[in-house]
Amino acid sequence: MRKPNGFILALAATPLFAACATIGGPRTEQVAAAGLLTANGTSVGEARFMRTGDRLEMLVSAYGLPPGPHGIHLHTTGSCVAPGFTSAGGHLNPGGSRHGMNNPRGRHLGDLPNLEVGHDGSGRLTVPLPGPADAIEADLFDADGTAVVIHAGPDDYRTDPSGNSGGRIACSVVSRG
Q: What is the CATH number of the domain that holds 125?
A: 2.60.40.200
Does any domain span residue 65? Answer: yes
pLDDT at 7: 34
Give the integer Cα–Cα distance in Å for 123 and 154: 14
Give the integer Cα–Cα distance in Å for 13 and 15: 6
Q: What is the pTM of this model?
A: 0.83
pLDDT at 15: 41
Does any domain span residue 90? Answer: yes
pLDDT at 20: 38
- Domain hosting residue 146, numbered range: 27-176
pLDDT at 23: 64
Q: Which of 147, 33, 140, 141 is nearest to 84 (CA)?
A: 147
Is the dihedral angle over the CA atoms 127, 80, 33, 51 positive or is it negative? positive
Does any domain span residue 20? Answer: no
Does any domain span residue 165? Answer: yes
Question: Which residues have C-beta within 8 Å of that of residue 36, sequence separation ≥ 6?
Answer: 43, 44, 45, 46, 47, 60, 62, 148, 150, 170, 171, 172
8 Å CB contact between 130 and 83: no
pLDDT at 106: 66
How many domains are there within the chain? 1
Does any domain span residue 140? Answer: yes
Rg for the chain (alpha carbons), in Å?
20
Averaged over successive runs of 10 residues, the pLDDT of the chain (177 residues) comes to 41 38 74 97 98 96 98 96 96 77 73 96 96 94 96 87 87 95
Give the integer Cα–Cα distance in Å for 114 and 31: 23
Strand extents, DSSP E, the chain: 28-37, 43-52, 55-62, 68-70, 72-75, 115-117, 123-129, 147-151, 168-173, 175-176
Does any domain span residue 5? Answer: no
